Structure 1
Amino acid sequence: MGSTFAGLVTDGPLLVAAAVSALVGLISFASPCVLPLVPGYLSYVTGLVGSGARTRTPRPDGDGGGAVATAVRADERPPRGRMVVGAVLFVLGFTAVFVSFGAAFGGLGRWLAVYNDEITRVMGGVTVLVGLGFLGWIPFLQRTKKLSLKPAAGLAGAPLLGVVFGLGWTPCLGPTLGAVNSLAFSEATAARGAFLGVAYCLGLGIPFVLVALGARWAVGATTFLRRHAAAVSRFGGAVLVVVGLLLLTGLWGEGMLWFRSWLGSTGFGEFFL
């Protein structure tokens, strides 16, 4: 088991695929169908849904004069620790879903190894199409549906909300998740597919945790991304089209073979191969 894990984390071509998967996960977070919902999700997992301002009733001043109306907005924000724990539990929930997807596609690639090249090219073509949809060039691919199931608000329901997010927002995350699953299929093992699923979830989940931590630069970054949502979508669509074309033409596999050969001819080979 240990040697298998070591092989995964030191496999150069797999690390390239993992880096692409993490980038795709970050694109998913920045997409217009996820980023605007971040505050709502964080409020839900910390049990603050429906909370609002409390107003102190007006009362006369000490001199018997007219009433002095004072509205005091209570600080309803939870302790930072609770917010972070809720975010982590939420991320673990959807990680379980997406890692399962990655493992399933990787295992399917191993089972269909004899047809791996042909199916990878087909999935590359599909990735190109969903990338074009992400760019807004195929309108019907921009429609999203989600599950209406809502677990109890608070930390106890946070992992289940993550699972619901992973399953219910698959149509929304489909373009990016499809690219990762295509890479998982091309790796042709369940372990490698799961590894790419973890990488994707790191790209998608770490920003959630950083925002929960209240990191000023992370909050500023989300504001910037929301303000430039159209540009983010175009960039994400372009990345998906490029990945899809590499898979479709077989250049991804050839590039990984070249990279493996190059690593073997350098001093880095003993660490990565």
Structure 2
Amino acid sequence: MIILILFAFLSGIITILSPCILPMLPVILTGSIGNRRRPYGIITGFIISFVVFTLSLTFLVDFLNVPTNTLRTVAYISLILFGLIMLTPKLKETFEILVSLINRGGDHKKRDGFSGGFFIGLTLGIIWTPCVGPIMASVITLAATQNVNLDSVFIILSYSIGTALPMLAVIYGGKAIITKVPFLTRNPEKLERFFGIIMIIVGISIAFNLDRQFQNRILNLFPNYGSGLTAFENSDIVQNALGNNLEDSGDFRTSKEPEKGKLGYYGLAPEPLLGLKGSVVIVDFWTYSCVNCVRTIPYLRSWYENYKGLGLEIVGVHTPEFVFERDKNNVDKAVKDLGITWPVIQDNDYSIWNSYNNRYWPAKYFIDINGVVRYFHFGEGDYETSEKVIRALLIEAGVEIDNKPTNMLEEENQSNTPEIYLGYSRSRGFKSVEKILADKSRFYSLVSNLENGMWSLSGNWLITEEYIIPQDSGDLVLNFFSKDLYIVIEPEGTSGFIEVYLNNEKVQEIRPTQSRLYKLLELDNSGSNTLRLRVDGP
């Protein structure tokens, strides 16, 4: 747990850099005016609010039977009221009296101090929707399924404190700028009114979801802004700690990878989607406030447009990160704004999420025509690999693809080696002293001087209609011209392994445990090379 608390703290610190937070920066900067206690009121209110509502909001909404948007509505109304108070002397005076009563007759000017900042911090904690990595995602999953443990409380508290530190730095940075501008120091009332107007604008923008539109426009202008901020959470040390934490919760299977044959579109609802059998399907777990998810949508859209007519289907599974994302109207609007044309299922109770052992936003599962998960990818990036998987699964289903890869058009000369099938029904480029003996094992001998796209075998192999099987140990040699190289492996046991050699130098060893696509090589540039796979065991 100590590891997760530490990394949650670090994740909280870098949250301020994410595009999810940009619309909230003006609210934070209001802490720059007022006395020296106001910033501490804001961060204290924020920490309390964010921790309490992140861990209990789902329970409160269900228990009180109120609309999921209720607290968000309260928050933006509060921001507008705070703005009006800063603009209107009469309202300001009334609010000061109320605060002084709360403070039991304390300083009549507490409105500018800790208490006034505390109320703003409470509001900020409700509308704070950070870009989360696996750590926060696991905590939110437990909270959404009302399965919170003590570890979750400490993790979310650590994250909140980490977030509060750069928030405090922003506030004091604003104070430093104000003190260096004589006009601002001489006109504090005008400055307060200015921030009041800003507060009202932010409140109204949240009311009409303009903050989301602003975020999407920023991402369109700067697609890579904020990407990779939580990449450090994908380290083995964090993943192992996450697995232990979820096991302690009692209700989650924690295998990092899906189990072959037990997952697919069969867990999806409603019933009509069972008609997807026979199609290659991408199941995309996302949520509309997650900037990492939003950044992947253009790629999904391009795949859908390019391959839908060839048998590809995409199913979006919208699993809410925050309670307000459970509202169907909000999801419908986000789907329209983001240009999503494939079916989207609301997974408000996390039933589909849990059936996939998932704990990432975004996460994509690639399913073959038999309903088996063959490949998965968590987070952003690696779009080229994902598209290669789509094409491989479609070709495996008997589809002839003439379309160019949508995300590799600018790299069309990067690979001059066609996709290669090893089974005799669609095999090409095979060279050997011996001819293929279909569906029977035999010894094959390597042929030298292979040209681009040609491959050869050494040892005892069984070549079937769709794939090849080593009978003991053996070699596969391929001459290729490409930058990256992949292979689909279906292991028959757990003892086998494959040594990968590039131009006679060993680069890695693979011990396959699942039937999926494996990356063999990732080179800096395309070129003519020789691959050797030394296979030990089936």
Higher Cα radius of gyration: 2
More helix by share: 1
More strand by share: 2
Larger relative contact order (CA 8 Å, sep ≥ 6): 1
**TM-score when scaled to structure 2?**
0.24
**TM-score when scaled to structure 1?**
0.43
